[in-house]
Chains A and B, each alone.
Chain A
Amino acid sequence: MAASRDVPFFGFVAVALATLGLDWRLSLIVVVWLAAWGLNIWLASVRGLQSGPGRLAAPAVFGITLLVLWELTVRLYDVPGVILPPPSAIAARIAVSGSILWADFVQTFVKGALSGYVMGCGAAFLTALAVDRFDFLRRGLLPVGSFIAALPIIGTAPILVMWFGFDWHSKAAVVVVMVFFPVLVNTVQGLAAADAMSRDLMRTYAARPGQSLRKLRLPAALPFVFNGLKISTTLALIGAIVAEFFGSPTVGMGFRISTSVGKLALDMVWAEITIAALAGSLFYGSVALVEKRLTFWHPSQRGARN
């Protein structure tokens, strides 16, 4: 059933056969790719693998395939390391320079991104409560806020670096500005999400606005709030790294990336990228986990369980 939809697959087989005559290296790469693709089609059709840890099998195979193809391409075609280092070289670099990577991680992620994230999201949340309280603010600030959220806010990085100096304070400031508007817009939207019927119910209970906010509208807003918080996790990391391009102490992921590019030490750059991607995924994942615990009642979370 599943395989029958993958008609293009047979087209790829034809392409693979056609490349055989041209270049053995290319056909080796294509064959590996096709084998992995076939394995994935098979995994997709196995019924027992659709739930539980088994559903991770297909994406895992896909990821490993990418790494193998990357390694193969670099080795077979002798791509110079200053253009694209193979995954094995990147792994070796990570293993060797753990202390440098750790120092950069603490400087950029913990000091810059995380502190800015907490401050920015907190400020945005409080502002959202104020905006929700006064209708005039909601009608005025929300259009402006959603407009600003679409702007290239990263451009404020040089200004903030000029104001707050080269150390992590300026990076945290950039992160605050970047995460503020997504969280604000989403939270205000969420606070309006409780339907009229439930609000009327609270009114019949003679609930005070504060009670209604705490017991009904804040919980109802949580899915929206978390949407903003999740978007902000990636923004925070990006903001902290890019801000370092405009000036930084001699430590930090952005600093390391820009100087390593200058020295053509691309394995170091890729090592930093790997750390950044891992940190970003873990950050996103932990926020998503908190969301799951707090909004277990929401249809999107219930649907995932059964």
Chain B
Amino acid sequence: MTGKVMPVLAVVAAILVIWYASAVWMNAAWTQAQAARAGTTVTVSEIVADAMVQARPRLPAPHQVAVELWQTTVEKRVTSKRSLVYHGWITLSATLLGFAIGTGMGVLLAVGIVHSRTMDISVMPWAIASQTIPILAIAPMIIVVLNSVGVSGLLPKALISAYLSFFPVVVGMVKGLRSPDASQVDLLKTYSASGGQVFWRLRLPASLPYLFTSLKVAVAASLVGAIVGELPTGAVAGLGARLLAGSYYGQTVQIWSALIGAAILAGLLVGLIGLLQRVTLRRMGLLR
């Protein structure tokens, strides 16, 4: 265990050290400019001390972000507009709705592709081509257009998430549903199993390991979709809105805390699916 954790901790510690060093380096210019304006000189220790506490640093120090995170999650009421939990929840709900839609569509499409040759050769190339449309780039248009036809709130963001998450699911699921080898399919044929039985008893269970791997990619993609979907709504609510508002007003600490908040959310979601994966596969006997 220690052999695995130690290197990771060392790398994380190195990142923190580099972060602090860069914070001092990048924030020094502002301190020196202030001092020059006041006609005084600053020592190195003053520069370092000042780099840690600036209100609008170019790069906030890690502890500033941590304090901001603590203040906006634990010390604010969750209903407050300034609470990161409130914004995180808005993003999370769009993410989850989009993830559910995308996964559902993806699984259905994959089942269709595996069972119908026509769908395989005509739809699959377009599922791939659909991913070349930079959906994140047209997120503003989708939000605005859907708003103008009366669809607003959660759904437009969720649709962007769904679009991003369906593709990994289709690819993984098609691979998974096709993973049983010919001898297994033949065995079921000797049992004179119907098409439905082959699907439920063989193909679907065999596809689960592939499905879970895709789900991890998909949930991360839906979170990105929800965050970008929040950018053009005029920065009302959500983690994406916090990012945009922070960038408008130069509130770097707010940007970084929203970013770290999104990272924690992504980590939790991916971790949760990893946990589900291990529990499910263990019960199926696919994992020791």
Decide whether A and B are members of one complex.
yes
* Chain A residues, Cβ within 8 Å of B136: 154, 238, 241-242
A155 at the interface (CB under 8 A from B): yes
Known: A136-B10, A245-B231. A147 touches B259 (CB 8 A): no
Q: How far is the CB of B207 from chain A (nearest CB, A)?
A: 19
A35 at the interface (CB under 8 A from B): no
* Chain A residues, Cβ within 8 Å of B217: 150
Task: Indicate if the CB atoms of B121 and A261 lie closer than 8 Å.
Answer: no
Interface residue from B6, B124, B132, B244 paired with A284 (Cβ < 8 Å): B132
* B221-262 to A contact mask, C-beta < 8 Å, 1/0: 001100110011000000110011011001010011011001
| Chain B, range 111-143, C-beta contacts under 8 Å to A | 115-118, 121-126, 129, 131-134, 136-138, 140-141
A218 at the interface (CB under 8 A from B): no
A209 at the interface (CB under 8 A from B): no
Known: A158-B246, A258-B232, A261-B141. A61 touches B134 (CB 8 A): no
Stretch at the interface among B197-205, B263-271, B275-283: B263-271
- Size range of the interface on B? 35 or more
Q: State how many residues of chain A have any CB contact under 8 Å with chain B.
A: 59
Task: Indicate if the CB atoms of B11 and A59 lie closer than 8 Å.
Answer: no
Nearest A residue to B143 via CB reads A261
Inter-chain CA distance A156–B247, complex, in Å, is 10
Inter-chain CA distance A150–B136, complex, in Å, is 16
Inter-chain CA distance A269–B144, complex, in Å, is 12
Interface residue from A2, A82, A158 paired with B117 (Cβ < 8 Å): A2
Q: Which secondary structure dominates where chain B touches chain A?
A: helix
* Chain B residues, Cβ within 8 Å of A281: 129, 132
Task: Indicate if the CB atoms of B121 and A162 lie closer than 8 Å.
Answer: no
Task: Indicate if the CB atoms of B258 and A55 lie closer than 8 Å.
Answer: no
B37 at the interface (CB under 8 A from A): no
* Chain A residues, Cβ within 8 Å of B137: 237-238, 241-242, 253-254, 257, 273, 276
Task: Indicate if the CB atoms of A162 and B231 lie closer than 8 Å.
Answer: no
B36 at the interface (CB under 8 A from A): no
B272 at the interface (CB under 8 A from A): no
Interface residue from B7, B117, B266 paired with A136 (Cβ < 8 Å): B7
Nearest A residue to B247 via CB reads A158
Known: A82-B148, A150-B270. A140 touches B10 (CB 8 A): yes
Known: A162-B58, A266-B141. A277 touches B224 (CB 8 A): no
* Chain B residues, Cβ within 8 Å of A139: 3-4, 7-8
Inter-chain CA distance A55–B227, complex, in Å, is 39
Stretch at the interface among A37-45, A93-101, A192-200, A221-229: A37-45
B193 at the interface (CB under 8 A from A): no
Inter-chain CA distance A253–B7, complex, in Å, is 42
Inter-chain CA distance A222–B29, complex, in Å, is 44
Nearest B residue to A59 via CB reads B125
Inter-chain CA distance A247–B259, complex, in Å, is 18
Nearest B residue to A244 via CB reads B137
Nearest A residue to B139 via CB reads A242
* Chain A residues, Cβ within 8 Å of B117: 2, 5, 44
A84 at the interface (CB under 8 A from B): yes
Q: How far is the CB of B254 from chain A (nearest CB, A)?
A: 10
A234 at the interface (CB under 8 A from B): yes
* Chain B residues, Cβ within 8 Å of A257: 137-138, 140-141
A33 at the interface (CB under 8 A from B): no
B220 at the interface (CB under 8 A from A): yes
B67 at the interface (CB under 8 A from A): no
Inter-chain CA distance A147–B11, complex, in Å, is 13
B12 at the interface (CB under 8 A from A): yes
* Chain A residues, Cβ within 8 Å of B118: 2, 6, 37, 40-41, 44, 58
| Chain A, range 110-166, C-beta contacts under 8 Å to B | 136-137, 139-141, 143-144, 147, 150-152, 154-156, 158-159, 161-163
Interface residue from B8, B138, B239, B263 paired with A143 (Cβ < 8 Å): B8
Q: List 29 A-B contacts (CB under 8 A).
A: A2-B118, A8-B116, A37-B118, A58-B122, A59-B125, A62-B125, A63-B126, A82-B145, A82-B148, A140-B6, A140-B8, A144-B12, A150-B216, A151-B267, A154-B224, A155-B243, A155-B259, A155-B262, A156-B259, A158-B243, A163-B58, A237-B134, A238-B137, A242-B137, A245-B140, A258-B140, A266-B145, A269-B141, A273-B133
Seen from chain A, the residues whose Cβ lies within 8 Å of a Cβ on chain B are: 2, 5-6, 8, 37, 40-41, 43-44, 55, 58-59, 61-63, 66, 82-84, 136-137, 139-141, 143-144, 147, 150-152, 154-156, 158-159, 161-163, 234, 237-238, 241-242, 245-247, 253-254, 257-258, 261, 266, 269, 273, 276-277, 280-281, 284
